[in-house]
Structures are given as structure tokens and as C-alpha cells.
Chains A and B, each alone.
Chain A
Amino acid sequence: MRSILFSCLFIVGLMANVQTANANEEASQEIVVSEQKMAQERALDKADKAFRQALFYYFQGEPAQALNQLYQNEQRLGSAKLNARLFEAGLSVHLGLPASAQAILKKIVEQKAAYQQSLKHELEQNTVEPVLAEQPSHTNQFLDTDEQELLLVALLQLSEYAVEHGNNLTAKSYLSQIETVLPQYRDQYHILKQLSAWPKPYVIENTLKLDDNEDHEPQVTLSPYVQFNHAIMALDRGQYEQAYTLLMALNDTPETEAKPNLWQSLFSVSRASEKYVSEVVQQNSDNASDNIAGPYHLSEQRDFDALSDYANLMLAQVYVMQDEYEKSNEVLARFPQDTPFSENALFLFGFTKLKQGDVIAASQLWLLLTEQYPDSYLSWQTPALLAQYYKDLLQYEKAYHQLEQAEISHVSQLESLRAFKFDFSNAKDLRNFARLDRDANASAEGQNDSIEIKLNGELNDDPEVNQQILVLRRHIQKIKQHKQLKISLLANERYQSTSNWLNQALKDPRLLSLYDDLLELGLLKQHIEKQETSVKWLAHNIKLNQGRHQALVAGLDKHKMAQTLSNLTTQASRLSQTINLAQTSDDMFVFASEDEKQWHLQIKQGRDFIGQMSAHIRGQLPEKLRSYQKRYQRLHGALQWQLKEKHIARLWAHKDLLADVYKHIDNLEQQAIRFEQAKQRNFVVGSLIERQAALQNRVLTIGNESDKIANHTSLNIRQKVLLFIRNKETLLNEHLLNTRIGMANLLELIQQKHSRLNSNTNFKNKIQSDVEAIFKADNDGEIGARPVEEKRGQL
């Protein structure tokens, strides 16, 4: 019984132990898990703060600095959060790095499946906690967007790139991965679907899945751009009625209200100037609750007007092609003056008027066109059109006059073109050839100049002082140059020229893009030079550090710090022992001053002398000696009493001093440890030297690469511009030839006309002479003569 009881107790105890062990194990596991979670949260928190540093630059309108910060974050902290990576993709688009953006977006999308899987697993395990426990207080879409929306943005952007490069199939495949479309992205989605289906017509999908929060039928009104593209497609197929209907409907499309979306603004502008970017950012920041200019919404009146004007122009063109000139007139009469399409509208309006027979109105309109757009290809055509009109009316002189004007114009254009060709071919620096110089860097340079003036003030008379001032100035200058390592990847504005011919050539977006590249290369070159200076400055700094380090090591070796410390410690110990002894013993003379010691010595010597004397005297000591003894005794007593009075205070004072000494020795020991560590730290400086050397090589390589690309770009620009010149020359020569042929034909016609007139005149003269002959014969008595008036009447 007892044994059973004991065994039960044993088993219970064992179970309790096991349970305790399990509990302990669970507790330790929980601690590990919570530590891991805390570490993870700290890492996420760090990542979030690092991302916000990039946002600080972005919201100031410095996207290059923001991207620089993101790169640094990645280097320091490793992989970034999803929103930071998407932000990096958007900035890459801004700064002309589309391939990088694409690579990032692809990675995000590829990892989408893996992410969703892990999220599902975590939800099942119930270990998911929000990254920020509190509700974020910032109303910032970059920070607050959920992963679903981020993936949607990524997929839309990837399909957009594909569309831009003509890869419609790829675009379709990305769009097919979209499961849910949030309302603010609906227009973009439709437009991309349409363009990816081009040239096939796009039918809006009725089964489109929408945001789950929507509880009503999706709106089927299409974006104005979608309707517009439908109209273009109809025109392409010659379906003018349909095109007409769509264009008319476009005019009636109400303005849509765009909701603010920072992600769309981030991806909307590519190769834009930083100035424009900063304006967009500023606008977004200032008008957070108002409509923001989004790329897929007609939220600005300017955008709506431009689209409406273009649609009206196309409508007028449709009417002209259908010979409905009245209707075309009506549309063009309402056309606004201040629009980018004025040139085309003026030409078309004049053409319509000419077709209606109103040559005066047509001439006036085309005169206006020539005055406002003298280099326009359309304005070159107008004299030929007028000449043809007059020719049809048999007004050859007027037709000839028109062609004469055209010939003069063409010859003048050809001369001007040849002069431009000569200047352009001989230009060494294409970047600054005939450039409209509105470089904002001028103001920055002006500011630097003012700093330079301050730095370069008058020097002192003393040459040694001057030398020091110069050294200091150079050092300050180096720091200044180094601190100007702020990166800028985009030109402040697009290339513009003072030359009309070059501006015409720049209407080719490919050439304009090359010039933008050239400007950016110029900026990059400047930045590379700054980086070179910076690398040299770092080398100089490392050298200084090395010198300091060597001086430190030499100083340590010279001063033999360890031995000195040891000596000091020994002395301090000895002093401590002395003080302790003084504390425990009754010896008051330990802390006696020099005077007191002297007095003590004198008293002792006196007493000893008297003692010696009294040893030689038998019997009682003489009175004097006894008084001396007593006096010495009193003095001794007084001295002792004095020392006793001061002993405690002196003891504590010495103890304080000793404590100070120990403190100083501690500090010295700490310093010695630091010096020793600094001495050992030479290997860190070594690694810095290696890194600096590697960076120096990279700077040189990048500099050479930049020169190579700049040369290549310049060559391409030259080829394109020379091709443009050749084409224009051919065109002008063709026009000139046609004009001259026309003039020759007209001259022939005029000559024929005049010769008919001349032959009519000769016939008249012949009849006149015949009549006069008859009349003369009549007067001479010839038979059958009639009265002259009657005969003249017969003529």
C-alpha cells in the first residue's frame, strides 16, 4: 500500500516535473519567439524610418536624392518593404531608369504569389500582427497603402511599359493577372486594355471584378481617352459616321473628378524635369483634398480643353473629307485661338474657305498662318493651293504671282537651311549649339561666386599668416565642394534652340529625346567630376587619419604608457598604505607641514641636547635647564595638540586627493585602453583604403563611359539632324521645282492667251483694212458700194 502510494507520488512528482519542464520549455520558446518578433518589429520599424527619410526628399521635389537614400537604405538594411520597393520603381521612372523600374515591378509581381502564401500561413498560425501597432497618424498614401493596391499599381505599370514598347501580348498577360480594380485605377485599366487590344476594338468587360467594397453595378461610362481612341480607330477604317458620333459625344462628356492618388502621380511623369516634378509634388502636397492632376483623369481644365480641341479638329477633318465644308466651317469658326492646334486649324479653315470659293477669306487666314508660323510645312503649301485656285479660274497672272511668292520663299528657305547646315556641321559642342540658355544653374553659380568672393578677400601682410589663410581657404573649399555631392539626374528643362531649323528638327521626339540625353549626360559629367573630387578628398582624409594613427602609435611607444600607469598605480598604492597607516596609528606627524616638521625637529633636537646635558649633571638639574625642559615640553605639547586638531581634516583631505588620483588613474587606464583599441583599429583604416581605391577606379571608368556615350549620342544627333536637313532640302527643292514648273506652265498659258489676243487683234486690223479698201473702191465708182456706216456695221 505504502509502496503504491509512494509510486503514485513519484509518478505525480515526475509528471509535475515534466509539466514544469514543458512549461519552462514553452516559456523559453515564447521568449525566443517574442524576441524574434521584437527583433522583426525593430527591423521593420528601422526600415519604415529609413523609407520616411527618402520621402522627406521626395516631398521636397528632389527625387534623385530620394532614390539615393533608398539605395543607401538597401545597402545598410538589406531588402526593403513592398511600398519602398514600389516607390523606388516610381522614382526610377521619374529619373529615366525604366529598365530598373521594370525589373523591380517584375520582382514584386513574381513574389506576389509567395507573399500571399506566407500571409495565408501566418493568418492560419495567427501570428500576424500589424507592423505599426497604432493607427498611423500620417495621411500619406505612400506609407498607408495596402499590399493589394501596391501589386495592382505594379501590374498596371508593367502593362504600360509593354504597351509603350509595342508588346501588346505582354501587356495583356499582365492585365490578366489583375483580380480586383479599385475605383481610382479603373480608367487606367480600361485605357491599357484598349491599347493592348489595338488595333482590334476594345469591348468593355461586363464581368470585370471591382473593389469588394462596391455594392452597386459598375459604371460603364468610359474614360474620354477610350472614346477618343475609338474615334481614331473608326477614322482609320473610314467609318466616318461612327467617328463623328464618338467625337460629338466626347464634347458632351462631363468633366470627371479625379481623386488624389500619389502613386499615379509618381509613375505618371517620365523624363520630366525635376522642376516639373517638384511642381507636381508641391501641388499634391498643397491640395491634398482637392482634385489633383492625375494622368488618367481629365481633372484639369487645360487637359479637357486640349482633348476637346483635338477632337473638334478631327471632326472638321472628317467633314472636309466628306466635302461638307459648311459644317467644317461651323466647327472651325468656334475653334479657340489659344490652343496648340491653332496652326492646323488655321490651315484647315483656309482650305475650307477656298473650297467654298471665298478666296479673300482663305488668303487672309493663310496670311495669318504664315505670319504666326512662318516655318510651318502647312504654310508652304498655301501659295500652291491659291495658284491652283486661280488657275482653275483662268486667272493666270494671279496664279503666277502666287507661285512667284512661293519661289522667293523657297529659295530663301533653302539659303537659310544651307547656312544652318554649315554652322551645325562645324559646331564642336552640340549641347550649347544655338541653345536657348535659361540654365538655372547660373543662379547657383552666382551664389557660389559670392561665396568665392568672400573667401578670396584681401590677404594679410604677413606671409606666414597668408599661408595659413590660404591653407584654410583651400580646406573650406574642399569641404564645400565635397558637400555639393547632391545628385541631380534630370535637366531643369528640355532642350530649346534659338535656331528655327533646329526647333523644327526637334519636333521629332526621337531627336528631342537624344538632346535630353545629351543634357543629362552633361549633368552626369558634372556630377562625376564632383564625385572624383570627393573621392580624392576621402583619400586625403584617409591619409590624414593614417598620419594621425602613426603619430598615435609613435606617441604611445615613446611614452611607454603601460609602464607609466604601473608606476602611478604603485605610487598610489603606497600613498594609500601610508594614509591607512596614519589612520590606524597615532602618528600625528604623517600629515605635518614642513614648518611643523621643522619645529618638531628643533624641539626634538633641543630636548635631546638637554637630555644629553642632564645625563652629565649629577644631582638636580639647574633651574635654567629645568625651565628649558619645561618649555620644550610645552612646545611639544602645543605642537602635538595643533597637529591633533588638524589631523582628521588632513586625513580626509588626503583621502579625497587619493580618491581623485585613483579616478585620474582610472581615466588614464580607460584612455590607454582606447589608445590600444585605436592602435589595433588600423585594419579598419586598411579596409577603408581598399574601398576608396575601388571607388576611385570606378569613378575613372564611369567618366570614360560617360564620354563614350556622349560622343555616341552627339554622333547620332548629327546623323539625325543632317538627315532632317537632307529631307528638308529635298522637299524644298521638290517644291521649288514644282513651283518653277508651275510657273513655266503658267507662262506658257499666259503666252497662249496673249497670242490669242494678238491674233484677234490682227484679224480686227485685217477686216478694218479690207473695209477701208472696199470703201475706197466705192468712192472711186466701183459698183455695189454701200454706205460706209452700214459696211462698218457689218464688221
Chain B
Amino acid sequence: MFDFRLNCPVFLLMAKRLIGLLTKYGKVSAYLFALACFGLSSHSMANDDTNTILGGELEQLKKQVLSLNRDLFILEEDLLYPASTQIAVFVSVDIGRFFSLDSVELKIDGEPVVGFLYTDRQRIALEQGGLQRLYLGNVKAGKHQLTAIFTGKDKQQRAVKRAKNFSFIKEEEAVMIELSMVDASANYQADIKIEQWAH
């Protein structure tokens, strides 16, 4: 009289949806099993095709948006910072055991150009090997002086400030300078290393 089904596949279908916390491997297996038992193949496959087509179109759109984003960035850089006047300053941290970076301030020819306060996430990203482009700007051709001021804490959580000057000559090509906070095991401190990249 009453037709209610209490099938294993029904269970597994239900459970499959909730198993999203796990990785896909148990889930995939359960789903395959449920499909085999419950015979949901044909209709779901047709829907899968539609989803796949849409998914493909969406992916194409994302790629186009990304590629447009890239081209816009590059055009902006070429327009606003041509190589003949461009200067780019990068920051990196070599391990970071002896110095925990809080902020960096940059001056060019005595004029402050950028100050950056680091969040924990950004600091960790640098310690993991990331390289940050701190500043992108324009300078005239000729001789200039860069001053970098690093503020942070040492291993004993004492406030520390390190500064360094660097002279460079701006010519036709873009100037790229890397400021690196390098751990010095000899004295358990960190030093600033400034290096201009060759072309």
C-alpha cells in the first residue's frame, strides 16, 4: 500500500551532498556508486553538458577579463611611467628571523615619495619569499640619491630603525632597485642591502 523507498543509494546521495567537507575522493566514489544504483545517469548527463558549456564560456570570459586587465596595466605603465623616466623600487626580506618589518619609507633626493605600513599578512608574504614592488615613479635623467628607512622590531621585540642611502644615475633605461632586509647571523641583526638590477 505505501511505497516508500529506503534505499542505500538515497542515503548515499544525501550523504554525498553533506560530505563536502571531505576531499573529493570519497565524494566522487560515493557519487559514482549512487549513480550506478539509482540510475540517474541519462538526465543528469544532459544537464552536465549544459553546465560544461556554460562553464567553458565563463572560463573564456574570465580569461578575457584577466588578459584585458593585464593589457590595461601594461598600457598604464607605458603611458605614465615610460622607461626613460621610470624608477621602480622593490622590497624583499631574506628570512626575517632577526627583524620583523613594520614599515618602509622611501625618499628620493630628500623628498619623501612613499611610505608603506605592513600588515601581518604582507610581512609573512615577504618572509615566504615574495617580492613587493613598493614604488613606481618618474625621475629626471642624471644623478639621484635614494634613502630607504626600515622600521620594525628585532627578535627581542625592541623597536629598530635602519636607514641606508644609495646613489644612482638615471639614463634612458628604467631603473630597478631592490631593497633587501638580510639577516646577518654574525651579529644576530638584519642589514639593508640595496642592489640595482642590471638590464
Chain A positions within 8 Å of B, measured between CB atoms, are 42, 45-46, 49, 52-53, 55-61, 64, 67-68, 71-72, 75-76, 95-100, 137-138, 140, 142-143, 163-164, 191, 195, 198-199, 225, 228-229, 232-233, 235-236, 268, 278, 282, 285-286, 295-296, 302-303, 306-307, 310, 313-314, 317, 321, 340-341, 343-344, 348, 351, 377-378, 381, 384-385, 387-388, 391, 485, 487, 489, 507, 509-510, 513-514, 517, 520-521, 524, 527-528, 531, 534-535, 538, 541-542, 545, 684, 688, 691-692, 695, 698-699, 702, 705-706, 709, 712-713, 716, 720, 738, 741-742, 745
Contact = CB atoms under 8 A, between A and B. Distances in A.
Given A385-B4, A517-B58, A59 B66 contact: no
Contact of A72 (B25, B32, B73): B73
Given A229-B26, A236-B36, A137 B95 contact: yes
B121 A60 contact: yes
Contacts of B112: none
Interface in B1-25: 1-4, 6, 8, 11-12, 14-15, 17-19, 21-25
B70 A56 contact: no
B124 A286 contact: yes
Given A53-B131, A384-B4, A96 B58 contact: yes
A137 B57 CA distance: 43
Interface stretch (B43-51, B98-106, B143-151, B161-169): B43-51
A398 B61 CA distance: 60
B132 interface: yes
A310 B15 contact: yes
A229 B25 contact: yes
Contacts, number: 256
B64 A705 contact: yes
Contact of A56 (B24, B67, B130): B130
Interface of B: 1-4, 6, 8, 11-12, 14-15, 17-19, 21-26, 28-30, 32-33, 36-37, 44, 47-48, 50-51, 54-59, 61-76, 78-80, 82, 90, 92, 94-95, 121-122, 124-126, 128-133, 178, 197-199
B24 to A, nearest CB: 7
B57 to A, nearest CB: 5
Contacts of A745: 1
A702 B75 contact: no
B54 to A, nearest CB: 6
Contact of A97 (B17, B50, B62, B133): B62
A520 B62 CA distance: 9
A387 B4 CA distance: 12
Given A384-B4, A520-B58, A541-B79, A285 B14 contact: no
B48 A510 contact: yes
Contacts of A57: 125, 130
Contact of B125 (A60, A306, A507): A60
A545 B122 CA distance: 36
Minimum-distance CB pairs A-B, first 6: A56-B130, A59-B125, A340-B18, A52-B131, A138-B129, A140-B129
Contact of A487 (B23, B25, B66): B66
B68 A232 contact: no
Contacts of B25: 191, 195, 225, 229, 296
Interface of A is mostly: helix
A341 B15 contact: yes
B59 A509 contact: no
Contact of A521 (B8, B58, B92, B124): B58
A742 B71 CA distance: 69
Contact of B130 (A59, A348, A531, A709): A59
Contacts of B76: 534, 538
Given A228-B29, A531-B72, A688-B79, A713 B54 contact: yes
Given A164-B28, A229-B26, A235 B8 contact: yes
18 contacts: A53-B132, A55-B130, A56-B122, A57-B125, A72-B70, A137-B94, A140-B128, A235-B33, A302-B21, A344-B14, A348-B11, A485-B73, A489-B62, A531-B65, A702-B64, A709-B57, A712-B54, A742-B1
Given A52-B130, A67-B66, A538 B26 contact: no
Contacts of A68: 66, 69-70, 73
Contact of A71 (B32, B37, B70): B70
Nearest to B121: A60
Given A46-B197, A385-B4, A99 B59 contact: yes
B4 A60 contact: no
B125 A531 contact: no
A688 B75 contact: yes
A707 to B, nearest CB: 11
Contacts of A61: 121
A106 to B, nearest CB: 16
A53 B145 CA distance: 25
Q: Choose among A138, A314, A384 the residue with the greatest number of B CB atoms under 10 Å from its CB.
A: A138
Nearest to A691: B75
Contacts of A706: 61
B69 to A, nearest CB: 5
B54 A303 contact: no
B110 to A, nearest CB: 21
Contacts of B4: 381, 384-385
B62 to A, nearest CB: 6
A236 B61 CA distance: 41
A286 B123 CA distance: 12
Contacts of B18: 340-341, 343
A307 B33 contact: no
Contacts of A742: 1-2
A534 B72 contact: yes
B72 A538 contact: yes
Nearest to A300: B21
B129 A142 contact: yes
Contacts of A64: 66
A509 B17 contact: yes
Given A385-B4, A712-B57, A310 B133 contact: no
A487 B69 contact: yes
Contacts of B1: 388, 391, 741-742, 745
B117 to A, nearest CB: 14
Nearest to B72: A534
Most buried by A among B22, B36, B82: B22
Given A514-B54, A517-B58, A705-B64, A143 B48 contact: no
A741 B70 CA distance: 66
A555 B144 CA distance: 29
A713 B55 CA distance: 10
B54 A306 contact: no
Contacts of A268: 23
Contact of B65 (A46, A317, A388, A524): A524
Given A306-B21, A388-B1, A485-B73, 16 more contacts: A52-B92, A53-B131, A55-B131, A59-B125, A75-B70, A97-B62, A100-B59, A100-B63, A235-B8, A302-B21, A307-B26, A313-B15, A378-B14, A489-B62, A705-B61, A709-B58
Contacts of B79: 538, 541-542, 545, 688
Contacts of B2: 384-385, 387-388, 738, 742
A472 B78 CA distance: 24
